[in-house]
């Protein structure tokens, strides 16, 4: 009886969290469905992982939580290598985007992150501050991370292009081609377990596909041997919450469950 009461209390907390923020943010052990999922009958069983033979990193697992000091030589080496790339990006003139930028945005986060989040390109606030996802979409991304018990400090966040396109337009192919080698090197250095693509342009670039985001979200793709989960960009959720919020929540649950699966296999 006491256990049933605890489960009911957990469900109530989950429902309040979902109604308030759009995402379940409690750490309860009750199920894995949001209130909306329960109403529509959609469960985690509908989201098959379909991942096998995932290559593992050999640099060792990082301790849980945010580390105040680098814990290994691997961390230091990765941090140094990412810093070199950031310097190259700061001096880059390979495409015309550098002419209109205030600040390049190389990316930020844990150099030894298990999960990378990759968006399309910097927006106005990112251009001003030189940091990724710091505007309204960035605040939502922070909430999305919290909903699956992650912080910005634990992951690495970057974009396909490192300079803001004029008026936040979609980057042109020549701009993507100029910037992609930087991103590829960042991925090679960090060696994440999972990549999450935020938005269609990021997914199309990383996966080298013309398939739209609505067709490939909710699935696990691959970049080399790294699992990739595409989902809608937080900016799209802000513009059309009724259309995209539930889908993004399901994608976050897919990411969370895949991460647990990969970590349990270490």
The residues, ordered by sequence, that sit 6+ positions from 234 with a Cβ below 8 Å of its Cβ are 133, 137, 138, 140, 141, 144, 198, 248
Number of C-beta neighbours around residue 262 at 10 A: 17
Vertex 87 angle, CA 84 and 90, to 5°: 155
CA dist., res. 254 & res. 10, Å (int)? 21
Sketch out the chain's domains with CATH numbers.
Answer: 1-46 (no CATH), 50-60+71-264 (3.40.470.10)
Residue 122: closest CA among 150, 91, 145, 89: 89
Q: What is the pLDDT of residue 22?
A: 53
Give the predicted TM-score (pTM) of the model.
0.76
Per residue in 130-155, is it b (16+ CB within 10 Å) or e — as a string?
bbbbbbebbebbbebbebbebebebb
Q: What is the pLDDT of residue 265?
A: 81
Q: SS3 for 8-29, per residue? A: HHHHHHHHHHHHHHCCCCCCCC
Extract the tokens encoding 160: 């396909």
Per residue of the chain (266 residues), give pLDDT as tens. Answer: 555 555 555 555 455 444 444 544 444 333 333 334 323 333 333 333 333 333 334 333 443 333 434 445 589 999 999 999 999 999 999 999 999 999 999 999 999 999 999 999 999 999 999 999 999 999 999 999 999 999 999 999 999 999 999 999 999 999 999 999 999 999 999 999 999 999 999 999 999 999 999 999 999 999 999 999 999 999 999 999 999 999 999 999 999 999 999 999 85
Q: CA dist 104 to 124, 126, 232, Å? A: 12, 9, 24
Q: What is the pLDDT of residue 43?
A: 36
């Amino acid at each position: 009886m006491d256990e049933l009461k605890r489960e009911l209390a957990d469900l109530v907390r989950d429902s309040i969290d979902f109604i308030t923020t759009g995402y379940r943010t409690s750490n309860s052990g009750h199920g894995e469905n949001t209130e909306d999922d329960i109403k529509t009958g959609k469960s985690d069983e509908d989201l098959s992982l379909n991942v096998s033979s995932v290559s593992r990193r050999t640099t060792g697992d990082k301790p849980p939580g945010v580390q105040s000091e680098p814990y290994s030589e691997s961390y230091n080496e990765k941090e140094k290598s990412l810093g070199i790339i950031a310097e190259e990006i700061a001096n880059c003139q390979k495409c015309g985007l550098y002419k209109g930028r205030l600040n390049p945005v190389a990316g930020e986060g844990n150099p030894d992150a298990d999960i990378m989040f990759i968006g399309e390109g910097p927006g106005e606030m990112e251009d001003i501050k030189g940091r990724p996802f710091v505007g309204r979409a960035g605040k939502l991304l922070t909430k999305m991370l919290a909903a699956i018990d992650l912080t910005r400090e634990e992951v690495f966040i970057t974009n396909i292009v490192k300079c803001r396109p004029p008026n936040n337009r979609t980057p042109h192919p020549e701009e993507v081609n100029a910037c992609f080698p930087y991103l590829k090197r960042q991925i090679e250095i960090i060696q994440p377990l999972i990549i999450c693509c935020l938005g269609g342009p990021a997914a199309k670039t990383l996966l080298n596909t013309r398939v739209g985001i609505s067709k490939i979200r909710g699935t696990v793709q691959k970049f080399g041997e790294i699992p990739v989960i595409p989902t809608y960009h937080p900016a799209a959720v802000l513009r059309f919450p009724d259309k995209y919020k539930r889908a993004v929540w399901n994608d976050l649950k897919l990411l969370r469950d895949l991460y647990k699966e990969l970590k349990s296999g270490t």
